[in-house]
Copies of this chain bind each other. A is one copy, B any other.
């Protein structure tokens, strides 16, 4: 008789954003006239930029003719895209990353959940708390996290690094030594970030203790301040200790278009074994490439015109972030983030817990946000709003919240 992977049964509830979607659907059914504004999930709302639309049409036409048709993509992704990534995201920033260290994929969510697979089940992970739930959940499924304590909402074999207002949302080096360290800056969900010097401390630490940093740079396009690193490879020594994940979802609006990439430097080794060769084996065996037409769309992101158009798109969302941030401040909320990231992290008022505030906001203002506790125990008492709505909706949502 077959047996299931019972690690799955240890997971409490469903995936955070699936739970929220179900709650909102139920509310919507009960209140069909309510005009709900969604600032919960980090899903973009602006259309793809014209230069990307053009690239897509062109590539679709190529797929319609035998001479220009494309079948299976090369294992790592097309060179035209990997070259553009290596130049723009790395070499132009002084980072020593080569095209053959870049693995194109269908998004950072898949990569961030699959990357743990090339590591031993015996490794111990460290995560910021609060944190993007995929890092922890994927490790639960793999059997790496021990047992769940429902009271504390923590796993026995996970090192939590609290990030709260008290430490300015910057994790401290953990007391217990981890094997894998998940870091995401600019941060999801808190919207805060760290300086290059602070990140260097983490890189030095990882090299010293023999840990791997899994660095999620999904929000780097939103960095507006100096001395905030766009890539972990801006730090000395990152090539021997860090893997970096990138998404096209937030900088180019690809949440429904699907494209991302992962960097595994060839210098990152466990003894003689390069992690690059393990990830290449996984990529070749268990994945079959992002669609040709989408990879061409990704290439357009790096064109001169593409950069110009997407800078405007990011500015559009960052204007929303400002509206949320300032509007909430005016209403007396304690607010963080929103300067180098599209997320605003607020303290829930009147001692409401995160889910109470979620229900309160949904019922009273018909605004959907994300409860901080969904990201980890230290997120309790906080709440996330995203800047990815339309400007009109964002303004309307803040007006409604002001009136509460």
Residues of A within 8 A of B (CB): 1-6, 8-9, 11, 14-15, 17-18, 41, 43-48, 50, 53, 56-57, 60-61, 63-66, 69-73, 75, 106-107, 109-110, 113-114, 117-123, 133-134, 137-138, 141, 179-180, 209-212, 253, 255-258, 270, 273, 275, 278, 281-282, 284-294, 390
The interface residues of chain B lying within 8 Å CB-to-CB of A70 are: 256
Copies in the complex: 2
CA distance A45 to B68 in the complex (A): 10
Q: Please state if A256 and B8 are interface contacts (CB–CB under 8 Å).
A: no
The interface residues of chain B lying within 8 Å CB-to-CB of A72 are: 41, 43, 255-256
5 residue pairs of the A-B complex, CB under 8 angstroms, read A5-B119, A45-B66, A47-B66, A60-B60, A141-B281
Q: Please state if B3 and A109 are interface contacts (CB–CB under 8 Å).
A: no
The interface residues of chain B lying within 8 Å CB-to-CB of A57 are: 57, 60
Q: Please state if B53 and A64 are interface contacts (CB–CB under 8 Å).
A: yes
Q: Please state if B285 and A113 are interface contacts (CB–CB under 8 Å).
A: yes
A207 nearest CB across to chain B (Å): 11
Q: Please state if A71 and B53 are interface contacts (CB–CB under 8 Å).
A: no
Q: Please state if B11 and A141 are interface contacts (CB–CB under 8 Å).
A: no
A106 nearest CB across to chain B (Å): 6
Q: Please state if B46 and A4 are interface contacts (CB–CB under 8 Å).
A: no
Q: Please state if A18 and B211 are interface contacts (CB–CB under 8 Å).
A: no
Query: Which of chain B's residues has its CB closest to A134's CB?
Result: B285
The interface residues of chain B lying within 8 Å CB-to-CB of A293 are: 56, 257, 293
A387 nearest CB across to chain B (Å): 14
CA distance A350 to B180 in the complex (A): 54
